Structure 1
Amino acid sequence: MKHLFTVLLLLSLISVQAQKKSKDDTPKVYAIDSTKVITLDKTIKTLYDVISGEKGKKRNWGQFKFLFHKDAKLIPSGKGKEGYYRVRYMSPDDYVKSSGSWLVENGFFEKEINREVSIFGNIAHVFSTYEAFKSESDESPFMRGINSIQLLHDGRRWWIINIYWTQETEDNPIPEKYLLKS
């Protein structure tokens, strides 16, 4: 019995040491702020804020994922090499895996310049025109486009259901009505 007690004591000490080590070795985890999804405006602002940052700045991917419903999709569209428009479907995790490193390595700021909102009951559609910069100090965007964002209010908060977007091109300029209003 004495031997069993000694073994259990050693195992618990090893477990405590392992927990201490893992806490010390764990990278900083960002807090998730649930107040950022209470209103439609805060949800859209948080979407833009969380992916934006200077070169080398880590993003709060936990907060990013918290914006989206569990079955949400991010859907970029654009013209392929063969000249036809196509789409790609990604989960929030897929987006982080495919674009997360690039955003940090290059710097990226997406700024909303116009918003058109339609709401019916608990659903909303936001047509959000954006400009993208590599640094906050850049004077001219390297890209512009429109995000079509569908959202659901479940009675407690807003969830992003889908973001479907396309970039502006020479062949497909953004119509004046979706540009910055003075």
Structure 2
Amino acid sequence: MLLLTELNAVVHDLYDCISFGPGKRPNFRLMRRIFLPQAILINANGAEPQLLTLDAFISSIEANLAAGKFTSFEETEVKHTTEVFGKVAHRFSTYEARFTPGSVEPDIVGINSIQFVHADGRWQVSSIA
């Protein structure tokens, strides 16, 4: 199905743009291309959810990199469930994340809830939690 192929490509780009090795940086240009400008990124791991704009999310990554909080990061999708209705799609994306390149065991295993809209002839991320 073409829709799922297109969504799979966006998700591949999503995980690719936030992953980077030592001495490298996330691909913020790609990130800005696959997210809607008004996208919301939600961190629901704390006591209260933290809602960030795309610019605020990028700024927080840049601040953490500048502070030396991490030097590499790799996040990969290991399983997913996707639903599409018209120009709206949702994906539960199970992922593994590693702070050390090549490590066998993931540092984090979680699920991203990703929402997409089809606009300007392509799928874009509207929110992620």
Q: Tell me by how many angstroms 1:152 deviates.
A: 0.5
Q: Tell me by how many angstroms 1:58 deviates.
A: 2.0
**Larger-gyration structure (1/2):** 1
Task: Give the structure 2 partner of residue 71 of structure 1.
Answer: 38
Q: Tell me by how many angstroms 1:63 deviates.
A: 1.1
Q: Is the 8 A contact 1:53 1:135 kept in 2?
A: no
The reply to whether residue 159 of structure 1 matches residue 124 of structure 2 is yes
AA aligned to 2:110 is G
Structure that is richer in strand per residue: 2
The Cα offsets for residues 123-165 of structure 1, whole Å up to 9 and x where unpaired, read as 100000111101331111111111000000125101100001x
Structure 2: runs of 5+ lacking an equivalent: none
Task: Give the structure 2 partner of residue 96 of structure 1.
Answer: 58
SS of the residue 2:41 aligns to:
strand
Aligned residues: 122
| TM value normalised by structure 2 | 0.86
| TM value normalised by structure 1 | 0.62
Task: Give the structure 2 partner of residue 176 of structure 1.
Answer: none
Match of 1:142 among 100, 107, 117: 107
Q: Tell me by how many angstroms 1:101 deviates.
A: 4.7
Task: Give the structure 2 partner of residue 53 of structure 1.
Answer: 20
- Give the whole-Å Cα distance in 2 for the aligned partners of 1:149 and 1:65: 16
- Give the whole-Å Cα distance in 2 for the aligned partners of 1:64 and 1:70: 10
Bigger RCO of structures 1 and 2 (CA < 8 A, at least 6 apart): 2
Runs of 4+ more than 3 Å apart: 100-105
- Give the whole-Å Cα distance in 2 for the aligned partners of 1:44 and 1:69: 14
The reply to whether residue 39 of structure 1 matches residue 1 of structure 2 is no
Structure that is richer in helix per residue: 1
SS of the residue 1:124 aligns to:
strand
Q: Tell me by how many angstroms 1:102 deviates.
A: 3.3
